[in-house]
Amino acid sequence: MPETQYAQNGGVYLAFRIEGEGPPDILLVNTWVSHVEGGWDVPELARFWRRLGTIGRLIYFDRRGTGLSDAVDVSALPDLETQVADAVAVLEAAGSKQAVVIGNLEGGPVAMLLAATRPERCRSLVLIGTAARMTQAPDYPWAPPEEVMAAIVEGSAQHWLSASPEHDAVLRPSAVLDERARDVDQRFRRAAIRPGAVAHYFGQTVHTDLRDILGAIQTPTLVVQIAGDRIVPAPAGRYLADHITGADYRELPGIDHIFFGETGDAVADEIEEFLTGVRGSSEPDRVLATLLFTDIVGSTARAAELGDRRWRQLLDEHDAAVRRQLTRFGGREIDTAGDGFFAAFDGPGRAIRGARGIGEALEPLDLRVRAGVHTGEVELRGEGMGGLAVHIAARVAALAGADEVLVSGTVKDLLAGSGLAFDDRGERQLKGVPGSWRIYAVA
């Protein structure tokens, strides 16, 4: 992981990180929902950052009052000029004289003002899902009315206090039914910024009007617009492109304001083509991995016996014990679901030893687990994994009994001569997986 560093402007410390190598340098001016470390826990955002880090040397930072940067008095937020100075301070600390400046969502106004007032610092400008003005005016009729945006500002502050599916449906409607994605988003938002600062920062964005400075932006510019964005409608993006000299406009299909989940790869493709003239591939990376699934046997009956509070405590102890064994045997936690774990290992031997270690570690807790192991090609999706191999490993685990480690024939063949013994459990049909699969139990 990149090291978190700090720049300083007027006594305020600003956290930043660097991903990848240049040239060019790329300065990402984030929305005010920012955390340079916590963002790596959001798989789609981490994937987007990594992708930018393959195009150039990505420099990304937390604006003051957000993430790991110094807190600020929410009643006296810095003006845009100060925020531009903060961005320049980050460039200085990163040793960058000139960078591609990317304004992401509510970071767009800072990026635009930086390009207009500090052109020597701005090699080129990329604006994603942002606008010169956020509210309706007589000569700007396509934006939402001011009262609508004011309600969204108020709703955003309340949303930090208690999750609201209705609010998520405005910001990221494509994931509104994905409880896991919503939970990850919520934890990230709360780590990134406090409720009081939300209303002030968002309110500042809503009341900003930069239309008069667009003509002063002379640097090469790319405007990326999500067609179905309800916060920044498509005409607002077209307005930017029409009023910035020579700007290139790209409108992408989608419905999310928080673009990196649904359209992150497509946005990165446009940025790469704009900067290099070559469109990179957003096809998922594929690697060979050994996958382990574990699950507590009889969890429903045990939960009913203990009651919710004690069962939750026992699950916490279970999770800690499993994570210790993953660390011990070189496994990487990919996901958890209920009382189960999904982990990846470099090789099948380690995965089997990890499964055994988990079973032994849980004996003092009077918990018994089933485990399944399979080796196959997986798709890397940010911090996650997908593909048929994942489904096979999960189905193999589902066949196991208490204290049993089942493996696919692929794993058994890879461990020939290892000294591990296996009992043949015969050919099995795995739900949703074509063909039949020979399954073995670790003896």
Kindly state the average pLDDT of the residues 397-409: 94
Contact 369, 362 (CB under 8 A): yes
At residue 256, the pLDDT reads: 85
pLDDT at 306 over 80: yes
Q: Which element (helix H / strand E) includes 414?
A: helix 409-414
- How many residues are recorded in the chain? 443
If we measure between CA atoms, which residue out of 20, 105, 24 comes closest to residue 66? 105
Instruction: Tell the burial category of 442 from Cβ atoms under 10 Å away from its Cβ (0-12, 13-18, 19+).
Output: buried
Q: How far apart are CA 167 and CA 155, in angstroms?
A: 7
* Burial letters 255-290, b for 16+ CB under 10 A, else e: ebbbbbbbbbbbbbbbbbebbeeeeeeeeeeeeebb
Best mean pLDDT range from 43-57, 65-79, 347-361: 347-361
pLDDT at 147 over 60: yes
Q: Which position has the token pair 């600390």?
A: 93
Q: Which position has the token pair 């409880």?
A: 179
Task: Specify which residues 140 forms β-bridges with.
Answer: 137
Residues 6+ apart with CB under 8 A from 142: 136, 233, 235, 236, 239
At residue 176, the pLDDT reads: 66
Contact 288, 273 (CB under 8 A): no
Other C-beta atoms closer than 10 Å to the C-beta of 196 total 14
Kindly state the average pLDDT of the residues 125-130: 95
At residue 135, the pLDDT reads: 86
pLDDT at 284 over 60: no
Q: Are strands 221-226 and 122-128 parallel, antiparallel or unpaired?
A: parallel
Other C-beta atoms closer than 10 Å to the C-beta of 311 total 16
At residue 258, the pLDDT reads: 82
Q: Is residue 69 very low, low, confident or very high in pLDDT (cuts 50, 70, 90)?
A: very high
At residue 320, the pLDDT reads: 92
Contact 197, 65 (CB under 8 A): yes
Kindly state the average pLDDT of the residues 239-246: 95
Q: How far apart are CA 335 and CA 331, in angstroms?
A: 12
pTM here is 0.65
- If phi > 0 it is left, if psi is from -120 to 50 it is alpha, else beta; for residue 338 that is left
Q: Is residue 257 very low, low, confident or very high in pLDDT (cuts 50, 70, 90)?
A: confident
pLDDT at 259 over 90: no
Residues 6+ apart with CB under 8 A from 327: none
Best mean pLDDT range from 218-232, 269-283, 424-438: 218-232
Superfamily of domain 285-442 in CATH is Nucleotide cyclase, GGDEF domain (3.30.70.1230)
Question: What's the CATH fold of domain 5-276?
Answer: Rossmann fold (3.40.50)
Q: Are strands 285-296 and 369-381 parallel, antiparallel or unpaired?
A: antiparallel
Task: Specify which residues 405 forms β-bridges with.
Answer: 371
Higher-confidence position of 165 and 183: 183
Q: Following DSSP, what letter does each residue of 338-400 receive, concatenated?
A: TTEEEEEESSHHHHHHHHHHHHHHHGGGT--EEEEEEEEEEEEETTEEESHHHHHHHHHHHH-
Q: How far apart are the first and last CA of the chain?
A: 39
Kindly state the average pLDDT of the residues 270-282: 81
Domain ranges of the chain: 5-276, 285-442
Joined together, the tokens standing for residue 367 give 């918990």
As a whole number, the mean pLDDT across the chain is 87
At residue 355, the pLDDT reads: 95
At residue 388, the pLDDT reads: 85
Joined together, the tokens standing for residue 169 give 């449906």
**Which DSSP letter does residue 105 get?**
G
